């Protein structure tokens, strides 16, 4: 178990489009298909439950990322403030899910799907391959950023507009 969280990972390194990478991407696609299939016409109470679960997982995952960096001596204010786009999107995606705020949705839709998709396809994991904590943390956070935007679009009926794109660009 200690090796799962080790800073100096001695397991297999991440392999770009290796088996673990492909499986992680397939799991994220299947999660989205399941969410759409199961919750598209579900009652409000069931949809609220899934929203709170996704938001809770996003926030817990981000907090665990900070804790891991702190416990491994890597946490600094310069690197861990939520100034990276995906760190901001983790917090805002969860907030969007809970509040159903359309302005946050626009931001998460345009920046979240594009940014997180790029991070999923070309992750910066270095030596942290499957089954290290960093591997799971990366795929959970970026996968749920995309899932949150897709969920709000397909299940909750939010729709981006050309004006949305302009607002996000500004």
| Domain definitions of the chain by residue range | 15-169
Q: What is the pLDDT of residue 25?
A: 98
Which pLDDT belongs to residue 91? Answer: 95
The predicted model scores a pTM of 0.94
For residue 109, give the nearest of 161, 57, 35, 62 by alpha carbon.
161
Residue 49 pLDDT: 97
Say which residues have a Cβ less than 8 Å from residue 127's Cβ, sequence separation at least 6: 9, 13, 14
* Residue 128 to residue 102: CA distance in whole angstroms: 36
What would the mean pLDDT of 80-95 be, rounded to a whole number?
88
How far CA 117 is from CA of 49, 100, 122, 123, 157, in Å, comes to 25, 22, 8, 10, 21
Beta carbons within 10 angstroms of residue 35's beta carbon: 20
Nearest one of 124, 131, 137 to 12, comparing CA atoms: 131
């Amino acid at each position: 178990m200690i090796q799962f969280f080790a800073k100096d990972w001695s397991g297999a390194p991440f392999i770009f489009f290796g088996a673990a990478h492909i499986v992680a991407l397939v799991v994220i696609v299947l999660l989205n298909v399941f969410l759409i299939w199961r919750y598209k016409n579900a009652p409000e109470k069931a949809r609220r439950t899934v929203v709170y679960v996704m938001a809770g997982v996003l926030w817990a995952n981000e907090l665990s990322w900070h804790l891991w960096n702190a416990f491994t001596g890597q946490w600094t204010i310069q690197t861990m403030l939520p100034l990276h786009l995906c760190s901001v999107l983790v917090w805002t995606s969860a907030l969007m899910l809970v509040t159903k705020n359309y302005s946050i949705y626009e931001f998460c839709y345009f920046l979240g799907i594009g940014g997180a998709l790029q991070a999923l396809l070309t992750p910066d994991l270095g030596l942290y391959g499957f089954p290290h904590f960093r591997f799971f943390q990366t795929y959970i956070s970026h996968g749920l950023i995309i899932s949150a935007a897709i969920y709000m679009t397909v299940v909750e009926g939010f729709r981006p507009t050309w004006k949305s794109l302009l607002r996000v660009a500004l």
